[in-house]
Structure 1
Amino acid sequence: MTRFSGAATVLLAAALFALAGCTAGIDSPDPAPTAAPTGPRCIEPPASPAASAGSPSSGPALPAMALQCFVGGRWTSVADLGGAPTIVNLWASWCGPCKTELPVIQRVATAGAGKVRVVGIVTKDRHEWAQSVIEQLKLTFPMLEDPGQQFAIAASPLVDKALVNLPVTLFITADGRIAHAYQGPALDEAELRALTQQHLGVAVPS
């Protein structure tokens, strides 16, 4: 029996991943090479540096890499996600729970404007499919694009979670550290507000 234990473990892990969330329904494109920034900015720096609430964050720093803006073609450093308390939502058009959660993300982005920044990362998806969801759900928060799922892969060992199943929501402190990584069923608005208060020290107005 022992010679089959490795295969059984792999099958069990695959089954657990399938239950945990969405996995990609398309072949992963080769990641595009990092390019010089061009086009309009998609993540605006805060008007003035923001301080993290409470004591300095002890979470891991964001991975050192660049992603492309969903609109405009500019490449931007992931480090730009720092500088203000930020909610980062990884989603894709082929992920049902993502599409359930995105309107909640939008409502919190609208209500929390000026207090917390919200950024989406379209992950392992086709641009035109994601664009259709953005238009259908009337999403207005800024988006980055990660067709090769490189951000999720790079962030996974930092938070000791395999962030390849969507949706994933990260809570980034003003000093650019990952305070919390949520991966599970689609968040409702009360849950997202509670996590934002708990991990970023920001109360999103009602």
Structure 2
Amino acid sequence: MRTRLAALLVPVLLVLAGCTATGEDAARTRDGAAQSRPSPFEDCSGLTTAPAPSGTASSVPADGGTPLPELTLTCFTGGAPVALRDVRGPAVINLWASWCAPCRKELPAFQRLSERTDGRLTVLGVNTRDTRGGAQSIGEDFGVRFPTLVDQGEALQRALGRNAIPLTVLVDGDGRIRHVDTSGALDDARLADLVRQHLGVAVAA
């Protein structure tokens, strides 16, 4: 009886082992496919170059704010890691993940912001708690092209004392944080208002 039961269990175990191996192979294939596709995001080489002058006087006071955390993050496209304190402002830093519905909703508005400010403002994404394949797909599907850093350890969120995403950080030309927004998905009008109010940069309609 025991011999017969063992004989019956062997094919079942082999099938289960085959399913597990197939699942792992599929995951490796997906990850490999994401690695092989060209990144939708721009490289990070220009992040330490100051944006062009706005041509208008800023209404933001010169004092106040706190410096960006002393963190160095990798760029989604590879290359040299980026020290956040070397990012030249004014800048808008958006923390997002592909599984976060409000993040997906607002990302196109950040892409339009980067286009409408025409080099006068740095728009930077920080992908957190995500997979490379998920982030890659969102960039491709939503046409997101601004540079993106990777922070899977949530170091930036911890340094800012915040947990929820999306999270948007507005940084002035001296690299000081002027505002941290956690109000949820931002649209074009709200983004333009925040940038004008906290950074003194006017956004074209």
Shorter-normalised TM range: 0.7 to 0.9
- Bigger proportion of residues as helix: 2
Any gaps of 5 or more consecutive residues in structure 1? 1-38, 157-162
- TM-score w.r.t. structure 2 length? 0.73
Give the corresponding residue for 1:32.
none
Tell me, what secondary structure is at the counterpart of 1:89?
A: strand
Paired AA for residue 166 in structure 2 = P
Number of matched pairs: 161
Q: Which of residues 150, 154, 157 is equivalent to 1:152?
A: 157
CA distance in 2, matches of 1:110, 1:52: 20
How is 1:25-36 mapped onto 2 (pairs within 5 angstroms)?
Answer: none
Structure 1 segments, 4+ long, off by >6 Å, are 47-52
Larger radius of gyration: 2
C-alpha displacement of 1:56: 1.3
| Change beyond 3 A, Cα 1:176–1:40 | closer
Q: Output the CA distance in 1 between the equivalents of 2:105 and 2:51.
A: 32
Partner of 1:74: 80
Could you tell me how far apart the structure 2 residues matched to 1:40 and 1:202 are? 22
Give the TM-score taking structure 1 as reference length: 0.72
2:170 is aligned with 1:165: no
Structure 2 unaligned blocks of 5 or more: 1-42
Q: Does the CA contact (< 8 Å) of 1:68 and 1:75 recur in 2?
A: yes
Q: 1:190 to 1:146 in 2, by over 3 A?
A: same
Code of the residue aligned with 1:204 in structure 2: it is V
**Cα offset for 1:57?**
3.7
- Equivalent of 1:58 in 45, 57, 64: 64
Cα distance between partner residues in 1 of 2:122 and 2:70:
20
- Taking the aligned partners of 1:191 and 1:91, their CA distance within structure 2 comes to 17
Give the equivalent residue in structure 1 for 2:90: 85
